[in-house]
Structure 1
Amino acid sequence: MLLKLALVGASVLVSSLAARRFGHAVGGTIAGLPMIAGTITGFVLLQETPAQVSAIALATLACLPATVAHVICFAWCATRWRWGAALVAANGVFLALGAALLALRLPPAWAAALALLSPVLGSRAMPRLPLSPAEVTIPRVELACRVIAAMVMAWLIMRSASVAPAGVSGLLLAVPITGNVLPCFTLPRHGAAATAALLAGFARGLFGFAAFFVALRAGLGWASPAAAYGLAWLTALLAALALRRDRDAAAAGAASPRLDPRQ
């Protein structure tokens, strides 16, 4: 248990340090990747049968659109409310939509397609707020508080997932731990624009999250659990590289001067 919590804390620390070094959007993208859920799934894979883990992966994919809705709700609420109200509203949306998606029992192919599509659509639904370039300062005390908050949430999730049915476990694994922790610290210190940039990056990172669980479930059907788990991480990393390339291309296009058609 201590090792699991340490890995969760390390992932939150890496995301926070990336935000401090490269900006809120990059930190959010790293946070959206399956740094926590993937780690927890690896431990579950050691304890449960491949069929059980495949069922959990499918339930996680089915709930992923609710995670995207959580991110969108938090970002828009952050433009008007304080972090506490935004946190409550976003998690309320997540739980309601997640439960509804589980009740629908979508076919596996539909659940996977919707999980891959929702981060793309979600990133386009985020508020576009002007964000002036500035150094991202995160004091050490705040870094420690972020890590502790994430570890407490992860502990609650792991304790609950170990005794819950597959559907509930999938819903719990889809809870955006960093998507709850990071914006709660970003909003009061850096404002709504920085929070929106962070969560927009988080939405992009969720594409890698979805790719991880799609590849894991597919791999468990024909490969050993270890090979399927490795394939899932490779797929997530390739998705992250694709996101980085797309982001760099978009930034280069925005920075390039446009020609006047009258010239």
Structure 2
Amino acid sequence: MLLFKLGLVALSVMLSTLAARRFGHRVGGALAGMPMIAAPIMAILLIDQGVAQVRAIALATLACLPATILHIVTFAKAAARFTWPVCLALALGGFLVAGVALAAVQMPPWAVCLVAVASPAAGLWHAAHHSGPPARAGVPRIEFGLRIAAAVGMAAAIILGADAFPPAVSGLLLAVPITGTVLPCFTLPRYGAAATASLMTGFLQGLHGFAAFFVALYWGLAAMHPAAAFCVALAAALGVALAMQAGVRLAQRPPA
């Protein structure tokens, strides 16, 4: 299971980097924000642990989503003034504080879902926006490999550490945005603050699909067969992602 999770992390970073090469930093970030890692893991958990446990995990993931948004926004804002180690420290610090605070708040499921759905939109409103055209990222092969190695190493440390802590701490560790941490640390020193802001804005766009997946999965598992609920969740994530990209293209279209 550990090797499978690490393989998903590597695949996510690889696809996001290839998308950035071809379409620009924002598209790479949007792909990284989607549940490419979480969805296959949830499918396996549905088989191994059953509906009740998966619904609990889905709700816990949604409860931590505002902390993930804070992490992304903090890094994007700090990138205009600081180097990547400072940005990373500020982003992870904000994530931990928000995550602990959210864990202490007991909200009903409908409120957790509502806050989770609204969080990416709030993040987009606050984040720095890249106003120029989407430039391709000429990521050299050595950096390509380093991105994957850094992401896999971080994921392994988090997953192994989570097994040694209580459930509340484990849930917080597993909610750390791995691709949202590794990719900007490479993007900022090589491509600058504007490219980093574009990457993180795309990540926030992708997290709309992430939130839609877990909301649909949580409520779908209570009303239909697990396989059907999972397919509905995937369709919800894809539909929201396509709607977001259509909205971005519409907003970028010059006035007639």
TM-score normalised by length of structure 2: 0.92
Question: In structure 2, what is the equivalent of residue 34 of structure 1?
Answer: 35
Question: In structure 2, what is the equivalent of residue 207 of structure 1?
Answer: 208
- Cα drift, residue 169 of structure 1: 4.2
- Alpha-carbon displacement from aligned partner over 1:3-53 (angstroms, at most 9, x marks no partner): 332222111110111011101111111111111222333333333232122
Moved more, 67-76 or 165-174: 165-174
Secondary structure of 1:27's counterpart equals helix
Question: For the structure 1 residues 222 and 163, does the alpha-carbon distance in structure 2 shift closer, same or farther, using more than 3 Å as the test?
Answer: farther
Q: Distance in 2 between matches of 1:150 and 1:223?
A: 36
Question: In structure 2, what is the equivalent of residue 260 of structure 1?
Answer: none
- Cα drift, residue 164 of structure 1: 5.3
| 1:39-188 paired onto structure 2 within 5 Å | 39-131=40-132, 134-162=135-163, 166-188=167-189
Tell whether 2:255 aligns with 1:256. yes
Contact 1:71–1:90 (CA<8 Å) still a contact in 2?
Answer: yes
Please, which runs of 5 or more residues in structure 1 have no aligned partner? 258-263
- Cα drift, residue 122 of structure 1: 0.7
Pick the structure with greater CA Rg: 1
Tell whether 2:20 aligns with 1:19. yes
Amino acid in structure 2 at the alignment position of 1:88: A
Q: Distance in 1 between matches of 2:177 and 2:14?
A: 15
Question: For the structure 1 residues 161 and 50, does the alpha-carbon distance in structure 2 shift closer, same or farther, using more than 3 Å as the test?
Answer: farther
Amino acid in structure 2 at the alignment position of 1:203: L
Q: Distance in 1 between matches of 2:223 and 2:131?
A: 48
Q: Distance in 2 between matches of 1:224 and 1:165?
A: 31
Contact 1:216–1:231 (CA<8 Å) still a contact in 2?
Answer: yes
Question: In structure 2, what is the equivalent of residue 247 of structure 1?
Answer: 248
Question: In structure 2, what is the equivalent of residue 221 of structure 1?
Answer: 222
Secondary structure of 1:39's counterpart equals helix
- Cα drift, residue 158 of structure 1: 3.1
- Cα drift, residue 154 of structure 1: 2.3
Question: For the structure 1 residues 167 and 46, does the alpha-carbon distance in structure 2 shift closer, same or farther, using more than 3 Å as the test?
Answer: farther
- Between the aligned residues of both structures, percent identity stands at 51
Please, which runs of 5 or more residues in structure 2 have no aligned partner? none
Contact 2:26–2:134 (CA<8 Å) still a contact in 1?
Answer: no
Secondary structure of 2:63's counterpart equals helix
Q: Distance in 1 between matches of 2:99 and 2:42?
A: 19
- Cα drift, residue 54 of structure 1: 1.0
Question: In structure 1, what is the equivalent of residue 193 of structure 2?
Answer: 192
Contact 1:131–1:194 (CA<8 Å) still a contact in 2?
Answer: no
* Alignment RMSD: 1.8
Contact 2:84–2:185 (CA<8 Å) still a contact in 1?
Answer: yes
Q: Distance in 2 between matches of 1:178 and 1:56?
A: 20
